[in-house]
Amino acid sequence: MQKITSAYANKMLRSLEEDKAFWVNKESTSSTYVAAVNEEPVVPEYDYMTVANTIDEIDRKILTIKHTLNLTNATAKVQVGAQEMSIDGILIRMAQLNKRKTVLDDMRKRLPKTRVYGNSFGSSGSAPEYKYINYDPELIRQEYDRISNTIMEMQIALDRYNQTVLFEVDI
């Protein structure tokens, strides 16, 4: 058993994925070779069982770390403002809020009145059309700021947790 933080677990996962990519590439480049009929072949060093066992061991470690990380994210509770949330709850809620923030960002950038060009009938003599906003821009700005602050508060709580809280993983 080893005690690690979520941040360290993610660094380990990146390192294991890089190591796995090395072995998969080694297998891809070394499992075959080309030689001309009248040529002494240059056979690359390759042992299927060594490569397969190494990749399998890396995959086992990745599975163990990801599973433990998922369990921790589902059960660990973190204080976010006045609310206690699980890590996975924070991640889900942040994704939802980021989508809403994108909509509000578009709304807050709109002008109160904009000219609409190119009607479908193509009649040049018709009166100009305008598109008007149907909301209070100040309310949208306030909502945008509130959601931005909530996301920031969640991210800070998540960063603090990822850097400081230890959990056990059997690798």
The DSSP code sequence of 93-136 is: HHHHHHHHHHHHHHHHHS-SEEEE---TT--TTSPPEEEE--S-
Q: How does strand 113-116 pair with strand 129-132?
A: antiparallel
Cα separation, 105 vs 108, in Å, equals 5
Spatial contact of 80 and 153, defined as CB atoms under 8 Å apart: yes
pLDDT band per the 50, 70, 90 thresholds, residue 123: low
For residue 118, the model assigns a pLDDT of: 72
Neighbouring C-beta atoms of residue 169, cutoff 10 Å: 21
Cα separation, 45 vs 24, in Å, equals 14
Is the pLDDT confidence value at 119 over 90? no
pLDDT tens digits along 142-160: 999 999 999 999 999 999 9
Spatial contact of 101 and 148, defined as CB atoms under 8 Å apart: yes
For residue 98, the model assigns a pLDDT of: 98
pLDDT tens digits along 36-84: 999 999 999 999 999 999 999 999 999 999 999 999 999 999 999 999 9
